[in-house]
């Protein structure tokens, strides 16, 4: 595998994506990982990510120079590039002119590059002013004398630009060349993953019984398929209907899993969740409450079933990363990670998808024979409509949002538009309107539709105005207490996909 050492940069997950897209397995770990553990992992190559610091800052993340003595090829990117220079006796200084965005790079003869001049993505305020002994400069830009350097004898490579970002022309090819230098194994396929995971789940669980938190979304459905292949009827899927599902969704999920070869239980817990959430308006608090309540319901169900050894969840890699494993900032604690209570009454939690990105999960679902409708479903967050109702949650608000969201989805389907994710948000804002001859003072509903492949970054879906007009007209006419519709036109980043 390829080890990505995380120095807190914003593109760290992209690096992992790019490596895996080539068919090579890779994991992101914090830069503090001890050398001893690196040796145990025995990666074929190591990539240092970018990061927000300057190598000379007092608390700048760093590591032992020993890492360059292991005989493992290293690629340093951005901060990682400067760190390599600094640790090996080179010098780093502050740029007179910072480079940010698309920049023309002139490449020279190198193990990594097969081009003379092309655009690359830059984002730095420091630069390498002196390269370490034994290195040669392999790329420059107008303002950056060391846009890349390498010591091919020691298999040490560094790029000031970001090959993982799509704007860097041939960036994937640069990463592929590094993987070739590492003699990486190109064996990361979902077919292999399915087989090895089914085998290891069988071995681990043995005759044990597993309870799976099934939400009906892609992740937990794929986890259910994987586990059902591994342990068959020893798996019980529990679908907790927290009353915060989309319109009719609870019944649809029950219907879809009726014929699945597993034990299926639906728990209607709407009132219980609503009680716990009463008067709570802080998004993180909502997530924590829902996460905790989920686990409590599962514990209770498991006791009813008899002995249950393991709790399974459909947690995926971005959930883990965005909940803050490295030094990157905590964006949101997804309910099935950050929201877990300290004390969980199961032997262990099994998360068979915890290392997969969303598109890998979909590919795995297809590999396991799940229907396309289920596999290509848009994601729906575990806390459900709770994080799409801004402010406190009431049954009335849930109903308004369910009706509005249903109409939005119905119209999008009719138009044949397929955003990666689209939904309505009930803002906590009310404004004055006029309906018939009367004054209204009702809610503003926001519509959100985004395109993305990895859900880490997203662009807005350009829904044609006539379609938006039609949707808006239906919403204000058919849903009581809504008198204004707005369309969210922000990308991620700086926004997130959900509003909370
Ligand atoms: P954000 O809002 O972080 O969303 O840009 C990225 C993706 O994650 C989903 N999401 C969640 N999923 N529990 C989940 O299971 C959560 O707490 C949660 N918050 C966001 C979101 O719907 C999008 O697909």
One-letter-per-residue 3-state SS of 380-440: CCCCHHHHCECCCCCHHHHHHHHHHHHHHHHHHHHHCCCCCEEEEEEEEEEEEEEECCEEE
Query: Is residue 136 domain-shared with residue 265, that is, in the same domain?
Result: no
Of the residues 131, 157, 181, which one is the last residue of a structural domain?
181
- Taking residues 118-127, report their average pLDDT: 92
Count of residues in the chain: 500
Query: Is residue 132 domain-shared with residue 150, that is, in the same domain?
Result: yes
Question: What's the pLDDT band for 387 if we cut at 50, 70, 90?
Answer: very high
382 domain residue, yes or no: no
Query: Is residue 405 domain-shared with residue 367, that is, in the same domain?
Result: no
358 lines ligand 1 (CB under 6 A): no
Query: Is residue 198 domain-shared with residue 143, that is, in the same domain?
Result: no
Question: What's the pLDDT band for 327 if we cut at 50, 70, 90?
Answer: low
What CATH number has the domain bearing residue 303? 3.40.50.620
Query: Is residue 220 domain-shared with residue 321, that is, in the same domain?
Result: yes
Pocket test for ligand 1, best of 381, 424, 448 (most atoms within 8 A of CB): 381
**What is the pLDDT at residue 358?**
85
Cβ proximity of 113 and 195 under 8 Å: no
What 3-state DSSP class applies to 108? coil
**What is the pLDDT at residue 341?**
44
Residue ranges making up the domain that contains 235: 190-375
Domain count, the chain: 3
Query: Is residue 414 domain-shared with residue 454, that is, in the same domain?
Result: yes
Query: Is residue 350 domain-shared with residue 458, that is, in the same domain?
Result: no
Cβ proximity of 449 and 413 under 8 Å: no
**Location of structure tokens 């002994």:** 133
286 lines ligand 1 (CB under 6 A): no
Which tokens go with 185? 């194994």
- Taking residues 463-488, report their average pLDDT: 98
- Taking residues 112-139, report their average pLDDT: 94
- Taking residues 149-157, report their average pLDDT: 98
CA–centroid distance, residue 87 to ligand 1 (Å): 38
Question: What's the pLDDT band for 326 if we cut at 50, 70, 90?
Answer: low
14 domain residue, yes or no: yes
- Taking residues 165-179, report their average pLDDT: 94
284 lines ligand 1 (CB under 6 A): no
Q: Which residues are catalytic?
A: 78, 162, 164
Of 295 and 462, more confident: 462
Cβ proximity of 410 and 276 under 8 Å: no
What 3-state DSSP class applies to 175? helix
* DSSP characters over 257-319: HHTSSSEEEEEE-HHHHHHHHTT---HHHHHHHHHHHHHHHHHHHHHHHS---EEE----HHH
**What is the pLDDT at residue 256?**
74
Pocket test for ligand 1, best of 320, 497, 499 (most atoms within 8 A of CB): 497
pLDDT at 2 over 90: yes
Distance in angstroms (rounded) separating the CA atoms of residues 470 and 423: 16
The answer to whether the predicted template modeling score (pTM) of the entire model surpasses 0.85 is no
- Taking residues 50-54, report their average pLDDT: 91
Name which residue sits closest to atom 16 of ligand 1, judged by CA.
Answer: 334
Question: What's the pLDDT band for 3 if we cut at 50, 70, 90?
Answer: very high
Question: What's the pLDDT band for 343 if we cut at 50, 70, 90?
Answer: very low
Per the prediction, the chain carries an average pLDDT of 91
Name which residue sits closest to atom 21 of ligand 1, judged by CA.
Answer: 381
**What is the pLDDT at residue 487?**
98
Distance in angstroms (rounded) separating the CA atoms of residues 233 and 374: 21
pLDDT tens-digit profile of 24-34?
999 989 999 99
What 3-state DSSP class applies to 205? helix
pLDDT tens-digit profile of 432-463?
999 888 999 999 999 999 998 778 788 999 99
30 domain residue, yes or no: yes
Q: What percent of the chain is modeled with pLDDT above 90?
A: 69
Query: Is residue 393 domain-shared with residue 327, that is, in the same domain?
Result: no
- Nearest partner of 410 among 450, 467, 461, judged by Cα: 467
pLDDT at 39 over 50: yes
Name which residue sits closest to atom 22 of ligand 1, judged by CA.
Answer: 381
Query: Is residue 423 domain-shared with residue 350, that is, in the same domain?
Result: no
Q: Long-range contacts for 488-491 (Cβ within 8 Å, ≥24 apart)?
A: 488/425, 488/446, 488/447, 488/448, 488/460, 489/460, 490/460, 491/450, 491/457, 491/458, 491/459, 491/460
Cβ proximity of 492 and 458 under 8 Å: yes
Of the residues 318, 348, 375, which one is the last residue of a structural domain?
375
**What is the pLDDT at residue 335?**
44
Query: Is residue 174 domain-shared with residue 195, that is, in the same domain?
Result: no
343 domain residue, yes or no: yes
């Amino acid at each position: 595998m390829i080890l990505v050492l995380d120095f807190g940069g914003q593109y760290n997950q992209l690096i992992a994506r790019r490596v895996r897209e080539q068919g090579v397995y890779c994991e992101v770990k914090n830069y503090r990982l001890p050398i001893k553990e690196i040796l145990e992992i025995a990666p074929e190559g190591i990539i240092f990510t970018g990061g927000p610091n300057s190598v000379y800052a007092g608390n700048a993340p760093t590591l032992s120079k020993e890492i360059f003595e292991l005989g493992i090829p290293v690629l340093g990117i951005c901060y990682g590039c400067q760190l390599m220079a600094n640790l090996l006796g080179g010098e780093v200084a502050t740029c007179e002119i910072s480079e940010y965005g698309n920049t023309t790079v002139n490449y020279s003869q190198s193990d990594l590059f097969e081009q003379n001049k092309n655009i690359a993505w830059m984002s730095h305020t420091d630069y390498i002013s002196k390269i370490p002994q034994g290195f040669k400069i392999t790329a420059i830009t107008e303002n950056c004398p060391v846009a890349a350097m390498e010591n091919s004898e020691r298999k040490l490579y560094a790029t000031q630009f970001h090959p993982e970002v799509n704007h860097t022309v041939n960036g994937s090819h640069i990463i592929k060349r590094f993987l070739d230098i590492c003699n990486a194994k190109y064996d990361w396929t979902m077919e292999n993953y399915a087989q090895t995971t089914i085998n290891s789940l069988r071995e681990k669980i043995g005759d044990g019984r597993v309870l799976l938190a099934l939400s009906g979304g892609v992740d937990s459905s794929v986890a259910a398929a994987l586990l059902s292949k591994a342990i068959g009827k020893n798996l019980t899927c529990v679908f907790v209907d927290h009353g915060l599902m989309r319109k009719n969704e609870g019944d649809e999920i029950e219907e879809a899993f009726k014929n699945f070869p597993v034990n299926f239980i639906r728990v209607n817990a709407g009132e219980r969740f609503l009680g716990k959430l009463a008067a709570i308006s802080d998004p993180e608090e909502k997530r924590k409450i829902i996460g905790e309540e989920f686990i409590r319901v599962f514990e209770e169900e498991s006791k009813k079933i008899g002995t249950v050894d393991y709790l399974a969840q459909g947690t995926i890699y971005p959930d883990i990363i965005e909940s803050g494993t490295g030094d990157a900032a905590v964006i949101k604690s997804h309910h099935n990670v950050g929201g877990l209570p300290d004390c969980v009454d199961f032997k262990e939690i099994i998360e068979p998808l915890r290392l997969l990105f969303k598109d890998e999960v979909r590919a795995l679902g297809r590999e396991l024979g799940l229907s396309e409708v289920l596999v290509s479903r848009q994601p729906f967050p575990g806390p459900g409509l709770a994080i799409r109702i801004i402010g406190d949650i009431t049954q009335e608000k849930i109903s308004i949002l369910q009706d509005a969201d249903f109409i939005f989805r119905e119209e999008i389907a009719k138009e044949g538009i397929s955003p990666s994710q689209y939904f309505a948000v009930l803002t906590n804002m009310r404004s004055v309107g006029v309906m018939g001859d009367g004054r209204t003072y009702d809610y503003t509903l926001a519509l959100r539709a985004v395109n993305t492949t990895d859900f880490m970054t997203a662009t807005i879906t350009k829904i044609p105005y006539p379609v938006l007009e039609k949707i808006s007209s239906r919403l204000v006419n058919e849903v009581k207490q809504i008198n204004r519709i707005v369309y969210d036109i922000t990308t991620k980043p700086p926004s997130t996909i959900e509003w909370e």
